[in-house]
Chain A
Amino acid sequence: MPKLTIDGKEIEVEAGTNLIEAARRLGIEVPHYCYHPGLSIAGQCRLCMVDIEKAPRPTIACNTQATDGMVVHTQTDRVKETRRSMMEFHLINHPLDCPVCDQAGECWLQIYYMKHGLYDPRMTDEKVHKPKAVPLGSHVMLDAERCILCSRCVRFCDEITGTGELGIFNRGDHSEIGLFPGQDLENNYSGNVVDICPVGALTDRDFRFQVRVWYLDSTKSVCPGCARGCNIDVHVNRKRPHHAGGRRVARLKPRFNAAVNAWWICDVGRYGFDAVDDVTRVALPQRRADGQLADIDWSEALAAVADALRRLTPDEIAILASAQQSNEDLFAIKRLCEQRGIRQVAFRSPAAPATADDDFLLRADRNPNTRGAELIGLDGDAAGVLSAARAGRIKLLWVFEHDLLGAGWPADTAQALERVETLVWSGANHNATTARAHHVLPLAAWVERDGTFTNFLGRVQRFRATVEPLGEALAGWDVVGRVLTAQGVPATGTRAEHWFRELTKSVVAFAGLTYQAIGDGGAMVSGAAATTAPLPPGRRAGAKATA
């Protein structure tokens, strides 16, 4: 392995490591635009120049591999002057419209100008004009004047999705990003081009003009959109609640995890958070009285459910949990079943999902925690529960999250529900089933609580509370825990982590795991093999050849 010196510090790196990555490991930032660790080397922004001893002039760090004995300087006067020059070139034809640009605040043109540029503009002639506000697809808007032609988006569509919608057209300072004739940027990963665009050229049509980025807070989380569990950052707007129509979750951004999703997430997950701030959210516990749902206190609601559970025999009770719930929620349900001897419990809708895996990250199973529910032992017979209900044998049915009148459930489910004496429904958003429920218990959405999901390969990953629960919504483990307490069971705890600790003690697959051990990157359940992110379609054998 080559050992080299960068700014006086020695480091040993794997053969093939370029100088940007080698420097990064020493905490030295080499400014760059076109280089992206997930894409091929383009070498065209010319910003990442460093001085290498014995080289006649500064060299681009992205296309230079570390060699043994190499001595690199990133802060010589010559390098600094080169950076200033490159910044000037980048900004010659840039519109400098930061006040109205969505990228302002997270724009690498701004950041590097402040760090390395700091010159007075000398360009007094008319700038080159190019198309603005061009929709490339459902999710992405192009401003060609802001574009610095780093070609990251083009390489993404060539090398990652393999769909090749984008190209650079024309020549010289009239070069511009665009769609090939007859194409739209409609692949399921289109939102990633916005993330990798270092400037305000590609903006997110869902996010643009909603809220300034400096008002956002970021929390590490996991996408609940499918069984993959892509690592994400949740960006929320707590500081300007009057912006974006009161929407608290502003956007989801991919978070690098080599074992799961690398740098990318799909559009289904990225734009799948609308329910969080939707008008259908349940804010308060409700009870049906005279055919109408009316708000009640939690104490009243919990007492009613606890009373019914106590009154009935275990065979008269059934629970339909959900793979949308966390390991902690599901374990609390498991505890309740054990405590009351309830055997009729399931989490899976009887029909197979109507969706299919896509060719990269998105799984047909759109639930984040199917594997967790299986491991915790809730994989019962949902169809059996429904036929028992239809036969009048179920007096109390407690449903979590599901819409039993929606897709995936038998057509005669409505008749089954009619025969249930007490239908308790807990979830975050009203659906057709809540309209038939006798009790509605509001659950916190995934961004409003802590917890863990187990992905389809057995990776346990943490998501975190980033906004307050809406109204009086509670986490699932909290609701079930309170019901258990009302049954006289000693309280397990007041945090998700307490429930996770209990889970690790009683479900062997989780043994030894802690929130600390899971950390930001997740940890495998026992017996599951380590994973890596799938090979992108654009890099598979037979994919269209790229540069």
Chain B
Amino acid sequence: MSRWQIARLIAGKDLRIERRSKVLTNQVLPFAGVTMVMFAFALDASNVLERVAPGLIWLATLFSLLVLVQRSFAIESDDGALDALRVAGIDPVAIYWGKSLALALQLAVLEVVLLIAAVVLYGAKVPLGGIVLLVITLLTATCGLACVGTLYGGLTAGFTGRETLLPLLVLPVVAPVLIGATRAVESALGTDGVALSEGWPWIGLLAVFAVAFGAGGALAFGPLIEEAT
């Protein structure tokens, strides 16, 4: 089987497990929703929420990413499946791409829900002219976050105390995504009168980040899981 076929097989398996266990719908989405509500309680002042809505969307996404990554690798380590994947000689690049793809699809669903929550809870407005920028921001940021999450999820999979180690490792690394995606979404939504054109340079940052971790992560993932498990 080709590398891409194996990656699709891994992604399909992860998504099927998600469909069965409903962790995204029953745990992660409610967690993200509660986070958005808590932000609203904390920043309950006129116009503040609307102004900071883009940043809050991405903060809630990052917190939820940690839950999704831990779940993604818990299913591999609970009964020794990651070892079994290694013994089966499955290409680590295919494992990395497959798990990143499954994670990216779940993140995309999450981000759409969070965006809707921001409109409903914070009164954020989505102008028609900003939709293209918004969609491209979601796509590029999602790819970057999924790649980083998979890389560090694999690294910490074999460690005891991985639940606390993962946020420590992931959050500083994804800071550029938080900054770039927040600025780009501010432009897309026209928050505080920011021009649409100001968002596009941030897309460049997000794209470079996604490509760097997509390629670099694929190369590093194999040696990392060899050392970690």
Partners in one complex: no
B interface residues, Cβ below 8 angstroms from A = none
